[in-house]
Structure 1
Amino acid sequence: MNQDQSIKNRQALSPYKLAITRYIRSSLALKGLKYDDLSDALNKRGIIMTPENLRSKTHKGMFSADLFAAIIDVLSLEEDALRDILKQTHNV
């Protein structure tokens, strides 16, 4: 893939990154949780991530698919996550 296409891909994926970032931040806030709580919940599943690392990944919207799925799982958001994220991408 050439650099031009790579830039276009990043631009096309940007609304999804933004929606995921907003969704995780708002879900934590609505549940009254902090990144420390998310880190602890992941730790109980054997996934060691510092609160600072999670905050950074969330801020950048840079999640691997498996970490994103684990976060959705520990926050008990399975039912609504994808629908809500996709809805946000259509509104961006």
Structure 2
Amino acid sequence: MKPEQSAQNKRNLAQYRMAISRFIRSAMILKNKRYEDLAAELELRGIVLTSENLRSKVSKGAFAADLLLVIVDILDMNDEALLQIQKLQREQSD
């Protein structure tokens, strides 16, 4: 892939990353969870990440799909979580 195309892809995916970031932070507030709590819950599942690492991933909205699903599970988000993230993304692009 050409560098220009890679940069264009990154720009086009930015609105999705922002929607994921906003949704996760909102869910954390609603569930009264801190990054330290998420890190502890992940560790119970055998996934070791520091709270600082999680904060960075959330602020960038950059997750591997499997990690995103574990966080959705930890935060006990309803089955509509991905639809809600898509809705946020669409609202941002309008």
TM-score, with normalisation over the residues of structure 1? Answer: 0.94
- Note the alpha carbon deviations across 1:55-81, whole angstroms, 9 max, x for none: 011111121111111111111114121
- Provide the C-alpha distance between the structure 2 equivalents of 1:44 and 1:78, rounded to a whole number of angstroms: 21
- Identity of aligned pairs, percent? 45
Query: Are positions 1:67 and 2:64 aligned together?
Result: no
Local SS of the residue matching 1:90: helix
- Provide the C-alpha distance between the structure 2 equivalents of 1:78 and 1:46, rounded to a whole number of angstroms: 23
Show the counterpart of 1:34.
Answer: 34
- Note the alpha carbon deviations across 1:16-74, whole angstroms, 9 max, x for none: 00000001111000111101111111111111111111001111112111111111111
Q: Which runs of 4+ in 1 moved over 6 A?
A: none
- Aligned pair count reads 92
Structure 2 gap segments, 5+ residues each: none
Local SS of the residue matching 1:47: coil
- Provide the C-alpha distance between the structure 2 equivalents of 1:12 and 1:56, rounded to a whole number of angstroms: 20
